[in-house]
């Protein structure tokens, strides 16, 4: 059976795993296969990264797209005052 177009299986798990050097050499294939499901990349036999499709990424991280101001307003501490605003500091002249 030809296995040249298959991810390198490092463990007997059913998830696709790629050694880093294989993932680098066949990155287009890793990205293409990420459309079907997460592709796990290992370095020296240890899990290092997971390549997922952009669509899946958007599904799992919708809150990360919030603006900082909206995130702070949704905080339970949104009414905490930080004190009076500071005044601008004088700028010294420097010869160049």
- Read off the pTM: 0.54
Cβ contact 65:54 at 8 Å: no
Query: pLDDT-based confidence at 86, cuts 50/70/90?
Result: confident
Lowest mean pLDDT among 11-15, 44-48, 85-89: 11-15
Q: Is the pLDDT of residue 35 over 80?
A: yes
3 state SS of 17: strand
Q: Which domains does the chain have, with CATH numbers?
A: 17-65 (3.40.1620.10)
């Amino acid at each position: 059976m030809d296995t040249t177009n298959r991810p390198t299986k490092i463990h007997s798990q059913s998830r696709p795993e790629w050694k880093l050097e294989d993932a680098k050499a066949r990155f287009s294939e890793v990205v293409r296969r990420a459309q079907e499901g997460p592709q796990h990349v290992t370095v020296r036999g240890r899990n290092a990264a997971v390549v997922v499709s952009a669509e899946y990424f958007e599904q799992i991280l919708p809150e990360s797209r919030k603006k900082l101001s909206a995130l702070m307003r949704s905080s339970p501490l949104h009414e905490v005052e930080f004190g009076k605003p500071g005044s601008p500091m004088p700028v010294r002249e420097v010869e160049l």
